[in-house]
Structure 1
Amino acid sequence: MSRTLLAAFLLATSLLLPTSHAAETPAKATMQGDAARPAKAARWQRAELYFGLGRSDGSTADADRERWQRFLDEEVTKRFPDGFSVLDAYGQWQRRDTKTIERLNSKLLVILFQGPQHRRDLDALRAAWKQRSGDESVLLTITPAEVSF
């Protein structure tokens, strides 16, 4: 047999051999905490807050950006100094009274936290934004989160 034919034969027969059970079962992924903070990876929650930031036509864009930055500096950072994420968003909703569609530039604030005291902080953020902006509401969702550092 030539080397090429022998190599093809060995490859073909190896494909017919049964594989081990370990190869069939993928390894289960687990969340591993950072060695410096192993206990911190348990019982976390993820909060998402949706803030209206002005009309989508851009008529108040500069004022809204400045007000938002002051809000982050004065309200959010002092309550969540370990960090948070902000994403630009677009939102729309239908007014109940007139059935018109409101379109808003928005900010999505994502905060990972532990402990019941942070729920009070989240509610304080909502109240502070409504007072500053005149908005009627700030949507809040809280879900369990698996966290690994």
Structure 2
Amino acid sequence: MRGLAAALLLTACAAGGETACPAGTQSATVAEAYFGRNVRDRDPVSEAEWRAFLSDTVTPAFPDGLSAVESLGQWRNRDGRIIQEASKVLVVVLPGADAATAQARLRPVEEAWKARFRQESVMTVFRQACVGF
């Protein structure tokens, strides 16, 4: 049974992960970007700085809508320590877009965040979904 499930999953991935959506919905890519707020050698990114970034960088890139959620991120550092930091999760639903298109649209926002707040990376997740409005 596991072999069949794995084969079906691989087939779906090879076909671009397309999903047959129920009536009243459409296929979309959901992009999630995780923005850590710790900044080396200064205070963490403030709420005012986040709102300014949202206004001048994110909103022009995604004028049709988005959601931003408070989060607490955690990972294991190279030396084995567990590191936690406040973060923001940006969720963007892009009807009709594939993951490559979503990534291309999100990349300038990620790069702007890294440059503005001296971040090494922004974690991103792309998944297919059926959405209805």
- Is the aligned partner of 1:100 residue 2:81? yes
Consecutive unaligned residues in structure 2, runs of 5 or more: 1-20
The Cα shift of 1:117 comes to 4.1
Q: Secondary structure at the match of 1:68?
A: helix
How far the C-alpha of 1:121 sits from its partner, in A, is: 1.7
Give the structure 2 partner of residue 65 of structure 1: 47
Provide runs of 4+ in structure 1 moved above 3 Å: none
Partner of residue 30, structure 2: 46
The one of 62, 76, 89 aligned to 2:58: 76
Deviations 1:74-124 (A, max 9, x none): 11100110100111000111111x222221001111100033544212111
Instruction: Pick from 120, 130, 133 the counterpart of residue 136 of structure 1.
Output: 120
Residues 95 and 102, structure 1, Cα contact 8 Å, conserved in 2:
yes
Q: Is the 8 A contact 1:31 1:148 kept in 2?
A: no
Contiguous gaps of at least 5 residues in structure 1: 1-29, 34-40
Q: What RMSD in Å do the two structures reach over aligned CA positions? A: 2.1
2:111 & 2:43 partners in 1: Cα distance? 21
1:125 paired to 2:109:
yes
| Counterpart secondary structure, 1:104 | strand
Larger gyration radius, structure 1 or structure 2: 1
Match of 1:11 in 2: none
- What secondary structure is seen at the aligned counterpart in 1 of 2:131? coil
Find out whether 1:147 has 2:131 as its counterpart.
yes
Higher relative contact order (CA 8 A, sep 6+): 2
Moved more, 46-55 or 139-148: 46-55
Query: How far 1:42 sits from its partner (Å)?
Result: 2.3
Q: Normalising to structure 1: TM-score of the pair?
A: 0.65
What SS is found at the alignment partner of 1:127? helix
How does the TM-score come out when normalised to structure 2?
A: 0.72
| Greater strand fraction, Structure 1 or Structure 2 | 2
**Between the two proteins, what is the percent identity of the paired residues?**
33
**In the alignment, which of 68, 71, 77 is matched to residue 86 of structure 1?**
68
Is the Cα–Cα contact under 8 Å of residues 32 and 148 in structure 1 kept in the other structure?
Answer: no
Q: Residue 109 of structure 2 aligns to a residue in which SS?
A: helix
